[in-house]
Amino acid sequence: MTNPKKSKGEVFIDFIQNTTKNYVEFYVEGIGWLIYLRENIEIVSDNWFSSTKFVASKHNLLNENPDVIFFENLYRINASFIENENNVKYNLHFNTLNVFADKITAFH
């Protein structure tokens, strides 16, 4: 008989896939709060001549070890973010990152 209990990694991935928000914020011990963007975002400035593009994040739960999650394009909120065309909302923090699922202690 198989165990129907999901791993922590599977629970987190299910949340990412089923949330209605276009991003997920999550806390990784030792790193801090990170942002997973579910889709590409383009923020156009007030003058319509410039924009900032953010590439969607990706994930892969390793089949042989569902407690390790591979991420691409993880962001942090810019600490000095102010709503204006000269300031970006997110900073790319990791191009790629492997995370042990038990180090993700909170998400929303």
DSSP state of 102: G
CA distances from 31 to 19, 48, 67, 74, 92 (A): 23, 35, 18, 12, 14
DSSP state of 5: P
In total, how many domains does the chain have?
A: 1
Task: For residue 76, give the nearest of 42, 25, 9 by alpha carbon.
Answer: 25
pLDDT digits (tens, 9 = 90+) for 15-63: 999 999 999 999 999 999 999 999 998 877 666 667 778 899 999 987 7
pLDDT digits (tens, 9 = 90+) for 77-86: 777 666 655 5
Q: Is residue 3 part of a domain?
A: no
Q: Is residue 1 part of a domain?
A: no
pLDDT digits (tens, 9 = 90+) for 67-102: 899 999 999 877 766 665 555 678 888 999 999 999
Q: Is residue 2 part of a domain?
A: no
Range of the domain at 47: 8-107
Q: Is residue 44 part of a domain?
A: yes
pLDDT of res. 1: 42
